[in-house]
Amino acid sequence: MELLLVSMTSHGVSEYMDELAAKISSILSDAGVTLEINVWPGVFKPSLKCFDWERAQYVAQCLVDQIDKHFTVFKAGRKLLVVGIGYLDGYEYGLNFVFGEAVPSKGVAVVFSKRLKPDFYGDTPDPGKYLERLVKEVVHELGHLLGLKHCGSKT
């Protein structure tokens, strides 16, 4: 099985992609999970048809569908999971925002990193903390792509 990490913005994510891939590979290896991880060499620009101008946010499911359609030929005949990552803000209907969205049946997830940056909340910029949060969110969405669900336990 392969994992393809795709940058959806040319800043705020692209500069972290190689380090992100290395950290994810290490985490998966420690957990006994073997995935070949590749970084898409370009930037996948999300369509403005997925942008909600009133909210100034992208609709998560729309971007999942776009990525799935764009990479369909590339995915043909391969066990490939695709995670699009962008320095964007996203939401899903009924929620104010989401950090990410995964659709296991498509093997595609998106991660919105704008709210992962400490300075989004007025804190001092911290690239290390941002990368740590980015790694956690990508691994979280990857878990969903591999069939894990959220824990239902309240304890």
Query: Catalytic residue positions?
Result: 141
What element of type H or E holds 80? strand 80-86
Q: Which of 80, 74, 68, 83 is nearest to 36 (CA)?
A: 80
Give dist(CA 110, CA 120) in Å, integer. Answer: 19
Q: Which residues does 61 contact at the CB level (< 8 Å), separation at least 6?
A: 92, 101, 103
Give dist(CA 89, CA 116) in Å, integer. Answer: 10
What values do phi and psi take at 45, rounded to 5?
-85, 120
Q: What is Dmax (Cα atoms) for the chain? A: 46
Helix (H, G, I), strand (E, B) or coil at 41: strand
